[in-house]
Structure 1
Amino acid sequence: MAMLSRPLLRLKGQELVPPDEDRRVDLDIFDVLLPCRFYEVNYKVASLGQVSPTLEFLLRLVKAAPGIADDDAATFFGYSPSEIAYVLEEAIGPGYLERRAGRLWLTISGEGLFKDDDKQPSIYTVESRRRSFGFDLMAIAPQVKRFLDELERVLPELPSEDPAGTGRVAERVPARFKQFFRELADQADRGKTERRDIYSIDPVVTPGERYQMPIRVVTFAQASNPTAAEIDLSSWRMDHEIADRPEIERAVALFVKDQQTSVNQLDAANGYQTLIDLAPEFLKEFTTRNGLSEGRYWREAVSRAGEPRVDRKTIPIVGSLLLPGNIERIQAVFDYGLRNMTEAPTNIYAVAPQTRRWGATTQQRDLLTLIQEKTARSFPGPDKPEMKSICLYAWDKPAQYTAKTFDEIQPIRVADFPRSLELFLVPGVMAAAVVHAPLGSSTGNPVPLGLTSFDPLVIDRAYAYFLERHEPYRVKDGSA
């Protein structure tokens, strides 16, 4: 264990993060449901198409030289008398040209073929349509419906200003339909190549089925001010599309702001002390007489959070365990820990922190499934018991998305664990401990900060700590 004789993390000054090292840090991830509704819209479209090449050239010539003689037009194109007669009939028959005293002029209809001073003429027909389109109930912008699985359907919903989805929303649909017509027309007429423009919209629309669609939200902050959470919706839509939906941005911002809490409310000091108790060797450079120097640890964790190795069994964790980058780290830690197992682990334990909306994402399920599948592949056999995921939950009733995510929910008392502490434990294989509390400020959004490890010493301490605070597990897991 010679590696413990040298510092695992390098100390710098006392500031939270030096200005030259400030950076974006992802903090948390949520999936929230956007309320939507179908609306039936009556409208007309102008289907635009190109005229034939010969007619186009003649119309463009007459537009450029009004009153040109028949013979001069024939000479310009090199047409014979029969050829110019054919082309003239194609133009005069539909009423695009008229001949007066042997000269050619565009009619009103002919002039109308040149849209917005376009030099190229085109013809169009007006068609009536009646179709149903999905709009969200906040920005009144197009939102395609897809099938939601059992977990997605119980994710938290963003509050809507018009819960019924009628009235004021329905009144806004025609104008928003016109604004997003090109996007909606492409969806409705996929596979058709001719260009279409909106011609008219019936001001009366008919509300239809309500539905919900998930939005993935990542919160982030600058390392120098981690409690000032911002939102990133880029995994949902492109920036220019989000700019057309400011109402949704505001709703998501309020959803995130609702997570704000205080250090005292979450018992953060005891949460940080637990980190020290689980991994004193790893955190010795950040431990003072008053406990963990969380600011110093944050600074180093932000700059040095890396991947586990054989000689680096414990690594810092910044942000939610469910962020994609942290899921990859946990997966790597789990892989290392699994190599030392002769029997398959039987349970995954999670102690939920007492923060609002913890685990409100399908990422939680994906992490559990990943671990269960890796275990099944590593220990094949028909008689092997199925690995269970068990969540210890201290609030009165777990959120539906938590109940749907885990195989089993076991109630605990509020005081059994520090309110800020999240534990993720596979006995004998790995442990992760994260404190969710404002950092650098007494109040604000929780900033997840902790560690994960496949070090047997850390795992054993974490499991003993876990069992000590939930005695019934000693009976259920006597073989552990």
Structure 2
Amino acid sequence: MGTPSRPLLRLKGHEIVPADEDRRVAIDVFDLLLPCRNYEVKYKVAALGQVSPTLEFLLRLVKATPGISDADAGAFFGYSVSEMAYVLEEATGPGYVERRAGRLWLTVSGDSLFREGEKEPTIYTVESRRRTFGFDLMSIAPQGKRGIDPVESALPELPSEDPAGTGRVAERLPGRFKHFFRELADRADRGKLERRDIYSIDPAVSAGERFQVPVRVLTYAQASNPSAAEIDLSSWRPDHEIADRREIERAVALLVKDQQTSVNQLDAASAYQVLIDLAPDFLKEFTTRAGLSEVRYWREAVSRAGEPRTDRKTIPIVGSLLLQENIERISAVLEYGMRDAAEPPSRIYAVAPQTRRWGATTQQRDMLTLLQEKLARAFPSVDRGDTKSTCLYAGKPAAYTTRTFDEVLTSHVEHFPKALEILLIPGVAVAALAHAPLGASNGNPVPLGWASFDPEVVERGNTYLMDRLERYAA
């Protein structure tokens, strides 16, 4: 039986699903940059040395029989006079054994070679080291450097309490180095078999190059409380390592909490209405005179979100399109839609919702690349680079968005509801989601919508988007 996972950080809210129907639901994915720095550390290690069998046997004999005579020791081992003289030199030279009146005793140094509970003597030598290690600037835990691509370098950075990389970090680093010494030493001395223990650390450390490392963050919620975000860092590191990085966990939790907004601020009702207008037959059971019964649809979608089929042309989508399971669903929808496509689409369009840090993950780029590759394989006349990706964005887009899409068109005037996200592959497939708190007036936005390869739904989505496209400019 596996060990239970650590509890995730959760914000309490109102329940909208009965306890017997409750379940954990994936909501969103982000990649956030962790500030790090290299530090040169000077330290000393006590390294396990080699003990010859003859020296070990003599030390054990003298330990067991203090004051034994040279002659008796030689007779015990069956050594000649010359052999015994050689062994005694090996023991008395380093100061492990002393001879007094032809008898042998262990010195304090010799006795200290026998650790408590061990019968064999252990010899250690002190060795100096000067090496460079990477540490994050938040939890001051080991973090190796790796290359990051242009999209990753533009991702949001977690705020550091010590942005200059000095002061608090330099003061705490020796203690943290000692805490992680076994991990660091094993990595630095990989291939060397002898055991090493930390002996001393020079408190003066030298700060070196700063760097950043992406941290993958998944957010989840209980179906009964969808707008109360939980964070999960297990895609980045296992639970036992996260336990040594509490500061990072807290910073991520605060940043995710910063995503919170209100239903009114996002004009959620208008976004839900677009979902109805584009797929009225699919949502007719959840449509009232007041619009979409989003809580009832959420409850239904959570329980039956599945895969597309020829007789299931429109499927519910719960959570971000960029979650791996939803990328797979969109990919399947695309494959069905390409079967009846008259011609290859020249564009993949995305309408960005006006939520904080939308698309702040390399999953956005990976999804677009996957769709472009599938289109290129389905239409031999099309190269992957021929199908461009275009994002329609209200206001100034984030740098990671401009680096993810082939083209970003912007407008200072809102032409789509703030909560609305659309992914359109003209003539093939369409997905639409509303990003808004669910079951409460305030909270983390919960993406909820559908994806479809139904020709009528795709055509409505195409008409809706194209009617507004000319109002956006590069």
* In the alignment, structure 1 residue 469 sits paired with structure 2 residue 468: yes
- Find the aligned partners of 2:311 and 2:64 in 1 and give their Cα distance: 80
Code of the residue aligned with 2:113 in structure 1: it is L
Code of the residue aligned with 1:387 in structure 2: it is T
Residue 424 of structure 1, CA deviation? 0.5
Residue 56 of structure 1, CA deviation? 2.9
201-210 vs 462-471, greater mean Cα deviation: 462-471
Q: Please state whether the residue corresponding to 1:229 is helix, strand or coil.
A: strand
CA shift digits 1:133-156 (9 cap, x unpaired):
211111111110011111111111
Aligned partners of 1:350 and 1:425 also within 8 Å: yes
Q: Given the superposition, is the C-alpha separation of residues 170 and 100 from structure 1 closer, same or farther in structure 2, using an over 3 Å criterion?
A: same
* In the alignment, structure 1 residue 426 sits paired with structure 2 residue 398: no
Code of the residue aligned with 1:143 in structure 2: it is Q
Q: Given the superposition, is the C-alpha separation of residues 351 and 117 from structure 1 closer, same or farther in structure 2, using an over 3 Å criterion?
A: same
Q: Given the superposition, is the C-alpha separation of residues 116 and 289 from structure 1 closer, same or farther in structure 2, using an over 3 Å criterion?
A: farther
Code of the residue aligned with 2:47 in structure 1: it is S
TM-score computed with the length of structure 2 as normaliser: 0.91
Aligned partners of 1:30 and 1:359 also within 8 Å: yes
- Find the aligned partners of 1:157 and 1:201 in 2 and give their Cα distance: 31
Residue 52 of structure 1, CA deviation? 2.7
* In the alignment, structure 1 residue 113 sits paired with structure 2 residue 125: no
343-352 vs 408-417, greater mean Cα deviation: 408-417
- Find the aligned partners of 1:327 and 1:120 in 2 and give their Cα distance: 60
Aligned partners of 1:412 and 1:470 also within 8 Å: no
Q: Given the superposition, is the C-alpha separation of residues 60 and 435 from structure 1 closer, same or farther in structure 2, using an over 3 Å criterion?
A: farther
336-345 vs 221-230, greater mean Cα deviation: 336-345
Code of the residue aligned with 2:398 in structure 1: it is A
Q: Given the superposition, is the C-alpha separation of residues 169 and 344 from structure 1 closer, same or farther in structure 2, using an over 3 Å criterion?
A: same
* In the alignment, structure 1 residue 333 sits paired with structure 2 residue 333: yes
Structure-1 residue corresponding to 2:234: 234
Q: Please state whether the residue corresponding to 2:109 is helix, strand or coil.
A: helix
Question: Which structure 2 residues correspond to residues 354-365 of structure 1 after superposition, within 5 A?
Answer: 354-365=354-365
Q: Given the superposition, is the C-alpha separation of residues 86 and 23 from structure 1 closer, same or farther in structure 2, using an over 3 Å criterion?
A: farther
Residue 54 of structure 1, CA deviation? 3.9
Residue 187 of structure 1, CA deviation? 2.4
CA shift digits 1:412-460 (9 cap, x unpaired):
3543111111000101111111111001111000011111111111111
Structure-1 residue corresponding to 2:446: 447
Structure-2 residue corresponding to 1:25: 25
Aligned partners of 1:416 and 1:470 also within 8 Å: no
Q: Given the superposition, is the C-alpha separation of residues 332 and 62 from structure 1 closer, same or farther in structure 2, using an over 3 Å criterion?
A: farther
Code of the residue aligned with 1:451 in structure 2: it is W
- Find the aligned partners of 2:438 and 2:384 in 1 and give their Cα distance: 44
CA shift digits 1:32-74 (9 cap, x unpaired):
1011111122221222134233433443344344445556656
Question: Which structure 2 residues correspond to residues 344-355 of structure 1 after superposition, within 5 A?
Answer: 344-355=344-355
Q: Given the superposition, is the C-alpha separation of residues 96 and 166 from structure 1 closer, same or farther in structure 2, using an over 3 Å criterion?
A: same
- Find the aligned partners of 1:302 and 1:388 in 2 and give their Cα distance: 33
116-125 vs 274-283, greater mean Cα deviation: 116-125
- Find the aligned partners of 1:288 and 1:119 in 2 and give their Cα distance: 82
Structure-2 residue corresponding to 1:403: 402
Structure-2 residue corresponding to 1:16: 16
Structure-2 residue corresponding to 1:458: 457
Q: Please state whether the residue corresponding to 1:390 is helix, strand or coil.
A: strand
Residue 208 of structure 1, CA deviation? 1.3
97-106 vs 207-216, greater mean Cα deviation: 97-106
CA shift digits 1:74-111 (9 cap, x unpaired):
676x6444666654443333322234455443222212
Aligned partners of 2:35 and 2:210 also within 8 Å: yes
* In the alignment, structure 1 residue 417 sits paired with structure 2 residue 416: yes
Q: Please state whether the residue corresponding to 2:224 is helix, strand or coil.
A: coil
Code of the residue aligned with 1:420 in structure 2: it is A
Q: Please state whether the residue corresponding to 1:451 is helix, strand or coil.
A: strand
- Find the aligned partners of 1:356 and 1:188 in 2 and give their Cα distance: 41
- Find the aligned partners of 2:400 and 2:385 in 1 and give their Cα distance: 25
CA shift digits 1:143-181 (9 cap, x unpaired):
100111111111110111111111222122111111111
- Find the aligned partners of 1:355 and 1:159 in 2 and give their Cα distance: 20
Code of the residue aligned with 2:452 in structure 1: it is S
Aligned partners of 1:422 and 1:436 also within 8 Å: yes
Aligned partners of 1:353 and 1:422 also within 8 Å: yes
Q: Please state whether the residue corresponding to 1:187 is helix, strand or coil.
A: helix
Aligned partners of 1:50 and 1:121 also within 8 Å: no
* In the alignment, structure 1 residue 35 sits paired with structure 2 residue 35: yes
Structure-1 residue corresponding to 2:10: none
Structure-2 residue corresponding to 1:253: 253
Structure-1 residue corresponding to 2:157: 157
Q: Given the superposition, is the C-alpha separation of residues 73 and 459 from structure 1 closer, same or farther in structure 2, using an over 3 Å criterion?
A: farther
Q: Please state whether the residue corresponding to 1:227 is helix, strand or coil.
A: strand
Q: Please state whether the residue corresponding to 1:265 is helix, strand or coil.
A: helix
Q: Please state whether the residue corresponding to 2:49 is helix, strand or coil.
A: strand
Q: Given the superposition, is the C-alpha separation of residues 91 and 268 from structure 1 closer, same or farther in structure 2, using an over 3 Å criterion?
A: same
Q: Given the superposition, is the C-alpha separation of residues 457 and 172 from structure 1 closer, same or farther in structure 2, using an over 3 Å criterion?
A: same
- Find the aligned partners of 1:338 and 1:26 in 2 and give their Cα distance: 28
- Find the aligned partners of 2:272 and 2:214 in 1 and give their Cα distance: 34
CA RMSD of aligned residues (A): 2.3
Residue 126 of structure 1, CA deviation? 1.6
* In the alignment, structure 1 residue 438 sits paired with structure 2 residue 437: yes
Q: Please state whether the residue corresponding to 1:151 is helix, strand or coil.
A: helix
- Find the aligned partners of 1:116 and 1:34 in 2 and give their Cα distance: 44
Residue 122 of structure 1, CA deviation? 1.9
* In the alignment, structure 1 residue 189 sits paired with structure 2 residue 201: no
Structure-2 residue corresponding to 1:263: 263
Structure-2 residue corresponding to 1:212: 212
**Structure 2 residues not aligned, in runs of 5+:** 1-14
Aligned partners of 2:372 and 2:384 also within 8 Å: no
Question: Which structure 2 residues correspond to residues 296-335 of structure 1 after superposition, within 5 A?
Answer: 296-335=296-335
- Find the aligned partners of 2:413 and 2:64 in 1 and give their Cα distance: 84
Aligned partners of 1:44 and 1:201 also within 8 Å: yes
**Structure 1 residues not aligned, in runs of 5+:** 1-14
109-118 vs 240-249, greater mean Cα deviation: 109-118
Q: Given the superposition, is the C-alpha separation of residues 459 and 106 from structure 1 closer, same or farther in structure 2, using an over 3 Å criterion?
A: same
Residue 381 of structure 1, CA deviation? 3.5
Q: Given the superposition, is the C-alpha separation of residues 429 and 210 from structure 1 closer, same or farther in structure 2, using an over 3 Å criterion?
A: same
